[in-house]
Structure 1
Amino acid sequence: MLQVALYEPEIPPNTGNIMRLCVNTGCPLHLIKPLGFTLDDKQLRRAGLDYREFAKVQVHDSLEAMISSLDEPRIWTLSTRGTRNYTEANYRDGDVLLFGPETRGLPAATLDDLGVHRCLRVPMFPDSRSLNLSNTAALVLYEGLRQQGFPGMA
């Protein structure tokens, strides 16, 4: 099963949408502090509908804490600075898809530490800044699930 991780998410509706995405795909969601909201935020609940109670959400104090709790998983980072298309990755069971905060993305040092070869991007026109976080998460997660034959999904 693939896993989704949000590094310092800022916008509650995006996290709520991703929470709903994770429930509907059976994927755990990892939230890395600091969060720009509380988990009982009204906007988060509205975007996540009644899926919050079914979501497998873990909150971590840091990226390092998440990595150690998952026993050194293989991590794919998503960034506009990535050089590989997200469809070129070979996703495996247990992989983590790591997304950065909406307004600034993942820090350059984090991208470097986790490996440039694992930094992916979604193709866009050259003058585009970025896609919405929850849309990007859906694109990449479903590509990974497609590669795995949509395990457990009808």
Structure 2
Amino acid sequence: MFQIVLHNPEIPHNAGAAGRLSLATGATLHLIEPLGFSLDEKAVRRAGLDYWKEVDLHVWPSWENFLENLPAESRLFYLTTKTKHAHWDHQFEKGDYLVFGCETRGLPEPILHANPDRCLTIPMQENSTRSLNLSTAIAIVLFEGMRQVSS
């Protein structure tokens, strides 16, 4: 249904939660290297990700490699705190790519600057917090997209 993209994720539990969200919604999970954790079987088992083998997972060696392999009609949307365009004001379609940055830095500025009309944010109370937890943000946007396409 949707494509979840994590650009250089650093925290294994957030990637694990994204994998669980992917399974629950029929989404595909894309991880863009470098990763801040290992995906070898021992590490995955230690993290308690007993469902990990069932996740529709694609790991890409770089952002450029990911982009080169996208179908021409792909629609990518970049989630950031650096825009005023609310995610719920956007009309999502099945197959859209929801791109999230790493936990400590977000998405790289060049990606955001190259795609200002495709940057979306989750509105929050002003001066309340810097950002939301990555897996929480994924869930909010993913389920809004699902709500829209199922209506």
Q: Which residue number in structure 2 is paired with residue 37 of structure 1?
A: 37
Q: Supply the AA of the counterpart residue of 2:12.
A: P
Count of residue pairs brought into register by the alignment = 149
Q: Which blocks of at least 5 consecutive residues in structure 2 are unaligned?
A: none
Q: 1:38-76, CA deviations, whole angstroms, 9 ceiling, x for partnerless residues?
A: 113767556663220100110111122112222242100
* Normalised TM-score (structure 2): 0.91
Q: Which residue number in structure 1 is paired with residue 76 of structure 2?
A: 75
- Counterparts in 2 of 1:47 and 1:86: CA distance versus 1, 3 Å: farther
Q: Which residue number in structure 1 is paired with residue 117 of structure 2?
A: 117
Query: Are residues 1:104 and 2:105 paired?
Result: yes
Inter-partner Cα distance in structure 1 for 2:130 and 2:41:
28
- Counterparts in 2 of 1:54 and 1:149: CA distance versus 1, 3 Å: same
Per the TM alignment, residue 24 of structure 1 is displaced from its structure 2 partner at its CA by: 1.0
Q: Supply the AA of the counterpart residue of 2:26.
A: G
- Counterparts in 2 of 1:81 and 1:46: CA distance versus 1, 3 Å: farther
SS of residue paired to 1:70: coil
Inter-partner Cα distance in structure 2 for 1:48 and 1:138:
20
- Counterparts in 2 of 1:41 and 1:84: CA distance versus 1, 3 Å: farther
* Normalised TM-score (structure 1): 0.89
Q: Supply the AA of the counterpart residue of 1:104.
A: R
Q: 1:83-108, CA deviations, whole angstroms, 9 ceiling, x for partnerless residues?
A: 21110111112210000000000011
Q: Which residue number in structure 1 is paired with residue 14 of structure 2?
A: 14
